[in-house]
Chain A
C-alpha cells in the first residue's frame, strides 16, 4: 500500500551524508543542503510498503537462519514480514543528479536513505496500531549472521514484485535501491518493546569499523 511520507528527519540525513557526528554548531550550508535534498526526495518518492503476519517457528526453520535472528525473535510466536520502497523514481533522481552535481547527489542519497527508514518506522507504527500489539525493532538480512541471500525468499513470500514493485537483482540486491525488507517480532501482551537499536556486537565488522573509530553508530539513534 502507499505510504504518505511528509517529512524526513534532518539529523538522520546529516548522519548519512557526513558519515560522522555533525559538527556543532552546524554550518548553515549543511542544513540548507539537507533540507533541499529532503524536499526533492519527498517530491519524487512513491513510498509503498507491504506486510504479512507469519508464525515465527516455520520461518526460523526455513530461510531466517542464524543465531541472531533467533535471539531477536525469542519470546515471539508471530512476526511481521515487511518490505518497503521509495520506488524507482528516487533512484532515477539520484542517477541524474550524479551527472552534473555529485555533492548534491550525495545529499539526495543520504536523504533517501533516511526517508526509507522513516517509511519503515511509520509502517511499523501503523501495523502495530492495526494489530493492537507491540513489535520488536526491525531485523534485516545482512544483520548479524542472517545472510543477505535470504532476501530472495523474503521477496517471494511477500510477493513483493507484484505488491510494491520491489525486485531482486541476480546478485541479491534490492531494486529499486532505496528499499528495505525486515522482520519484527510481535511481542506477547505486557512485554515492553526494547527500544534500543541493535548492538554493534552482532555486526560482523564490529572490530574493524571506520564509523566506530569516529565514535558514531550506524544504527539509528535511539532517544
Chain B
C-alpha cells in the first residue's frame, strides 16, 4: 500500500482529495478554547471520528489524524503522553476510514518554539521531538506522514530526517508529504523563499511538496506557479477559505467559490488538494464535485537548476559564482590560532568580510592536527549560519565530519569533495544523496592526479555515472579539474583547462576550481592567479574558489561577465563601479612611500590616544604597526593602549561621552590588539604579553533561558580591551557549562548576565552551582532588571551596573 501511494503520487494519474480543518470543527462540537485539541482524541473519541467521517463522506481519500500539535512541548501540562494521544488519534481516524480505501496520515505541525539561532530550541532537540511523534504514529499504523504549516526550513529538515530515519529504523516506507506556510510576498515568516524550500525538501527526499494555511486559494496560486518551476515533485495545496476578517475572524469565501478557485490549479498538474482554516466538509464536497469533472493534467517536469542555498538565499549557478576560500587553516597562522582557541568571532569575521567583498558561497574547512573536525566543523557551520545567509561549502576529508556538518546545515550545501576512488565514492555519495547536497567531484583517483586532460575527463565521467546510480542528478555535481602548480608542473597547466572544456561540453556539468594553487613558489602571485583565473573562466569555470578580498580577482570576474555577455547591459558592472568605495579605489594614486622617519615614541603615543578616543580603528592599527618594530608589544599595551582606554573610561563615567562612543573606542583599541596578535603569529618567539587564562581569564555567559546578549557582548569588548582573555560561552548557557569552563581553565572571575526577571532564577542557580563545587572564583552579575541588593541576595560578589564597572571589578579581582 505504501509504495502504491508513492507510485501513484509520482505518476500523478489520479486525484487525491485531502480533508479540511479539524480544530474549528472540534470547537463547533464543544472543544473549549485554550484546550489542546489533540486531547479530544482520548476524552471525546467519538466526536473526532465523526469529523473524520464527515470529511470521508464529502469525498476525502486522505484523512489527517488529529495529531497536529501532539508533540511533547505542546502536550506538556496535560495528563497524556505523546504516544497515548497519537495512538488514539490514528485509531479514531482508522475507525472512520475502515471499510473504505481512504488513507490515514500522521499530521505533524510545528513544535511551537523557534529553533536556533533565532530561538533557543536546538536542531537536535527538534529532531528528538519529531522522532517521538513519528515513532508513535508509525507504530499506531499511519499510512503516510504529513509535515504541515511549517515556516522554518530548519524545522522542516529536522522533521524530514526524523520521519525518514524512524521509518528506516522500523523497517517501513511511508510516503512523506511536506507543506509550508507562506505569505503573499513569497516568503515565510522566517524569510524562507520558494526556491530554497523546493531545493531542500526535494533534496531530503520528501514525496510531495506544497502549501497550506495563511492564504486563500487566490493568493496562493502565484506561489504555486512559482513552486512548479522549482520542483519535479507532486504539489499539494490546502488553502484557507480566503482571508480572515480581523474583527470577526470569519473567512471571506464560500465552498463553491473555493472549489472554483482551486480549479485553476489543475493546469499546473496539481492533483492533490484539500482545505485548511475556515474550510469544512461542504468545501471538500465542492472540491470533490469539481475534481469529478476533470482528469489530472500532466505537465513536463521543469528544467533542473544547479544551485545551492540557505533558507533565505538561493544561489543558482547560472553565472560565475565566487566561493570564498579564506576559512581554511592551511597556511594561515592567525586562523589556526583562532581555531585552537575556539575564537569563533575571528572565524565569523573572516566569513563576513568575504561576503562583504563579494563571495557568493563560503568554503569551510577545519582540518588541523589535534582538532576534532567532527565536532568543530558542525559547530562552525552553525555559528556561521547564525550570522550569514550565504550558502556554505563543507570541506573535509573526514566523512564523519562531513556528515555531522551536513546534518546541521540549514539549506542545501556543497560537499567538498568526492573523487574517483572507490572508497570515496562509496562513503561520500550516499551522504550527498541523503542530505540533498551538491558535491565537488575531484578528477583524481587511486592513481593520483592524471596528467592528461582525457584521463581527468574519464574520472569525471565515472563520478557522474556513479552519482546517478545513487540518484544524484548531474546538476548537483561540480567537477574540479584540479589546478597544478605552475612552478612544478608547468606543462600540465593547460591540461586542466582542456579537461574543463571537455567536461563542460560532453558531460554538461558545472565546474569548480581552486585557483590560487597555480602560483605557489613564484613571485608576484597575484598576477599569475589573476591571469589563470581569466583563462579558466574562458575555459568554462563556473565556481572559482578564490580569496574575494583581493580586488583584482573580483575585477577579473566582473570584466569577464561583461565581455561574455553574462552581465546584460553591464548592469552589475556599472552598479559595482559606481559605489563610492570602488570609485575611490580605482582613482586612488599609488600609496605614497611610507614616511621614512619613524615617529617619535611620544608623538605616536599621543596620536594613538587620540585615535582611540575618536574610535578610529584603522588609525590605531597603523600606529601600532608602526610602533611594533621598535617597541615591545607589552609596552605598547601597558603604556599606550590601556592608558588611552582609561581616559575613555573616565570620560564615560563623568558623562562626557556616551556608551556608543566608549564601545567605538574599545573597538578601535581592538584593532591595535589584533595587530599585536598578528605580530605574535608571525614572530612566535617574541616576548608574549598574552595573559594566561588562569591568571587573568574571565568567563562570560548570558544565563540559561536568556537570549538577550547584547549587554554581555558589550562587556566582552571592554574587558578584552583591558587585556583580559575572555571565554565567551554565549547566550542561553546552562549552569553546568559555566561550572565546567571555570574548572577547566581555573578561572578566577565569572561574569553572568540576565535581562529578564524570568531568567534571574537561572542566574541564581548558576551561582549556586559554582558555589556548590567550591570553586575559588568571584562572580559579577549585571543586566537590566538586576539591582545591587538583588545581586547580593543571590550570592554574587559584585554587581556591575555597566560595562565600565565590569572592567573596574576585573581590575580589583585580577589586577
Going nearest first, the 3 A-B pairs with the smallest beta carbon separation are A171-B705, A165-B189, A96-B387
CB of B128 to closest CB in A, whole Å: 15
Q: Which segment, of A15-23, A114-122, A189-197, faces chain B?
A: A15-23
Cα A100 to Cα B705 in complex, Å, equals: 25
CB of A83 to closest CB in B, whole Å: 12
Q: Would you give the 0/1 interface string for A67-105, flagging 1 where the beta carbon is closer than 8 Å to chain B?
A: 000000000000000000001110110111011111101
Given contacts A88-B114, A162-B149, A205-B785, contact A107 B660 (CB under 8 A): yes
Q: Are A46 and B113 neighbours in the complex by a CB distance under 8 Å?
A: no
Chain B residues within 8 Å of A148, by CB: 756-758
Q: Provide a sorted-by-A list of 24 A–B residue pairs whose CB atoms are within 8 angstroms.
A: A2-B183, A17-B658, A18-B658, A20-B655, A30-B660, A51-B246, A52-B249, A88-B118, A96-B388, A98-B710, A103-B615, A103-B664, A105-B713, A106-B714, A107-B660, A148-B756, A165-B188, A172-B705, A172-B756, A173-B707, A173-B756, A175-B120, A175-B707, A176-B118
Given contacts A88-B190, A164-B189, contact A99 B348 (CB under 8 A): yes
A193-223 contacts to B (CB < 8 Å): 205, 208, 210
Q: Are B191 and A88 neighbours in the complex by a CB distance under 8 Å?
A: yes
A131-178 contacts to B (CB < 8 Å): 142, 148-149, 156-157, 161-162, 164-165, 167-173, 175-177
Chain B residues within 8 Å of A48, by CB: 189
Q: Are A99 and B246 neighbours in the complex by a CB distance under 8 Å?
A: no
Cα A73 to Cα B758 in complex, Å, equals: 25
A6 interfacial by beta-carbon distance below 8 Å: no
Q: Are B247 and A130 neighbours in the complex by a CB distance under 8 Å?
A: yes
CB of B107 to closest CB in A, whole Å: 15
B759 interfacial by beta-carbon distance below 8 Å: yes
Cα A101 to Cα B660 in complex, Å, equals: 11
Given contacts A17-B659, A161-B112, A164-B189, contact A102 B667 (CB under 8 A): yes
Task: Name the residue in B151, B345, B756 with the highest tally of chain A Cβ atoms < 10 Å from its Cβ.
Answer: B756
B758's partner among A94, A95, A100, A149 (CB-CB below 8 A) is A149
Chain A residues within 8 Å of B659, by CB: 17-19, 106
Given contacts A17-B659, A130-B247, A210-B801, contact A170 B113 (CB under 8 A): yes
Q: Are B183 and A89 neighbours in the complex by a CB distance under 8 Å?
A: no
Chain B contacts to A: CB under 8 angstroms:
33-34, 110, 112-114, 117-120, 149, 151, 181, 183, 185, 187-191, 213-214, 246-247, 249, 312, 345, 348-349, 352-353, 386-389, 615, 655, 658-661, 663-664, 666-667, 704-708, 710, 713-714, 717, 756-759, 762, 785, 787-789, 801
Q: Are B113 and A99 neighbours in the complex by a CB distance under 8 Å?
A: no
Shortest Cβ distance from A156 into B: residue: B34
CB of A15 to closest CB in B, whole Å: 11
Q: A171-B756, A175-B120 are in contact. List 6 more A-B contacts (CB 8 A).
A: A2-B183, A88-B189, A94-B710, A106-B660, A130-B247, A142-B757
Given contacts A162-B213, A177-B708, contact A100 B714 (CB under 8 A): no
A1 interfacial by beta-carbon distance below 8 Å: yes
Chain A residues within 8 Å of B660, by CB: 17-18, 30, 33, 103, 106-107
CB of A122 to closest CB in B, whole Å: 15
A12 interfacial by beta-carbon distance below 8 Å: no
A167's partner among B112, B388, B667, B785 (CB-CB below 8 A) is B112
Shortest Cβ distance from A109 into B: residue: B710
CB of A101 to closest CB in B, whole Å: 7
Chain A contacts to B: CB under 8 angstroms:
1-2, 17-20, 23, 30, 33, 46, 48, 50-53, 87-89, 91-92, 94-96, 98-103, 105-107, 109, 130, 142, 148-149, 156-157, 161-162, 164-165, 167-173, 175-177, 205, 208, 210
Q: Are A165 and B151 neighbours in the complex by a CB distance under 8 Å?
A: yes
Chain A residues within 8 Å of B655, by CB: 20
Cα A88 to Cα B189 in complex, Å, equals: 8
Q: Are A103 and B118 neighbours in the complex by a CB distance under 8 Å?
A: no
Q: Are B113 and A87 neighbours in the complex by a CB distance under 8 Å?
A: no
Q: Are A99 and B352 neighbours in the complex by a CB distance under 8 Å?
A: yes
Shortest Cβ distance from B33 into A: residue: A157
Task: Name the residue in A17, A30, A91, A106 with the highest tally of chain B Cβ atoms < 10 Å from its Cβ.
Answer: A106
Cα A139 to Cα B478 in complex, Å, equals: 56
Shortest Cβ distance from A1 into B: residue: B246
Q: Are A167 and B117 neighbours in the complex by a CB distance under 8 Å?
A: no
Shortest Cβ distance from B387 into A: residue: A96
Given contacts A88-B189, A95-B386, A175-B707, contact A168 B658 (CB under 8 A): no
B710's partner among A2, A105, A170 (CB-CB below 8 A) is A105
Q: Are A99 and B387 neighbours in the complex by a CB distance under 8 Å?
A: yes
CB of A3 to closest CB in B, whole Å: 13
Q: Are B191 and A102 neighbours in the complex by a CB distance under 8 Å?
A: no
Given contacts A99-B348, A170-B705, contact A175 B785 (CB under 8 A): no
Cα A175 to Cα B190 in complex, Å, equals: 11
Chain B residues within 8 Å of A46, by CB: 187, 189, 191
Q: Are A103 and B114 neighbours in the complex by a CB distance under 8 Å?
A: no
Chain B residues within 8 Å of A99, by CB: 345, 348-349, 352, 387
Cα A175 to Cα B731 in complex, Å, equals: 14
Q: Are A101 and B758 neighbours in the complex by a CB distance under 8 Å?
A: no
Shortest Cβ distance from A108 into B: residue: B710
Shortest Cβ distance from A34 into B: residue: B660
Q: Are B387 and A95 neighbours in the complex by a CB distance under 8 Å?
A: yes
Chain A residues within 8 Å of B183, by CB: 2
Shortest Cβ distance from B662 into A: residue: A103
B706's partner among A87, A161, A173 (CB-CB below 8 A) is A173
Q: Are B119 and A169 neighbours in the complex by a CB distance under 8 Å?
A: yes
Q: Are A205 and B787 neighbours in the complex by a CB distance under 8 Å?
A: yes
Shortest Cβ distance from B710 into A: residue: A109
Given contacts A18-B658, A167-B112, A175-B707, contact A101 B667 (CB under 8 A): yes
Cα A167 to Cα B118 in complex, Å, equals: 11
CB of A201 to closest CB in B, whole Å: 18
Q: Are B713 and A102 neighbours in the complex by a CB distance under 8 Å?
A: yes
CB of B491 to closest CB in A, whole Å: 44
CB of B642 to closest CB in A, whole Å: 19
CB of A1 to closest CB in B, whole Å: 7
Q: Are A87 and B189 neighbours in the complex by a CB distance under 8 Å?
A: yes
CB of B188 to closest CB in A, whole Å: 8
Given contacts A91-B118, A173-B705, A205-B785, contact A100 B352 (CB under 8 A): yes
Chain B residues within 8 Å of A100, by CB: 349, 352-353
A103's partner among B113, B348, B663, B762 (CB-CB below 8 A) is B663
Cα A173 to Cα B758 in complex, Å, equals: 8
Chain B residues within 8 Å of A130, by CB: 247
Cα A101 to Cα B788 in complex, Å, equals: 30
CB of B133 to closest CB in A, whole Å: 17
Q: Are A169 and B190 neighbours in the complex by a CB distance under 8 Å?
A: no
Chain A residues within 8 Å of B667, by CB: 101-103
Q: Are B789 and A161 neighbours in the complex by a CB distance under 8 Å?
A: no
Chain B residues within 8 Å of A161, by CB: 110, 112
A170's partner among B120, B181, B214, B386 (CB-CB below 8 A) is B120
CB of B807 to closest CB in A, whole Å: 15
Cα A77 to Cα B790 in complex, Å, equals: 39
CB of B427 to closest CB in A, whole Å: 34
Chain A residues within 8 Å of B119, by CB: 167, 169, 175
Q: Are A169 and B189 neighbours in the complex by a CB distance under 8 Å?
A: no
CB of B702 to closest CB in A, whole Å: 11
Q: Are A208 and B787 neighbours in the complex by a CB distance under 8 Å?
A: yes
Shortest Cβ distance from B665 into A: residue: A103
Chain A residues within 8 Å of B801, by CB: 210
Q: Are A169 and B352 neighbours in the complex by a CB distance under 8 Å?
A: no
Chain A residues within 8 Å of B707, by CB: 169, 173, 175, 177
Cα A165 to Cα B659 in complex, Å, equals: 33
Chain B residues within 8 Å of A149, by CB: 758
Chain B residues within 8 Å of A210, by CB: 801
Chain B residues within 8 Å of A105, by CB: 710, 713
Cα A142 to Cα B704 in complex, Å, equals: 20
Chain B residues within 8 Å of A162, by CB: 149, 181, 213-214
CB of B557 to closest CB in A, whole Å: 25
Q: Are A53 and B658 neighbours in the complex by a CB distance under 8 Å?
A: no
Q: Are A102 and B714 neighbours in the complex by a CB distance under 8 Å?
A: yes
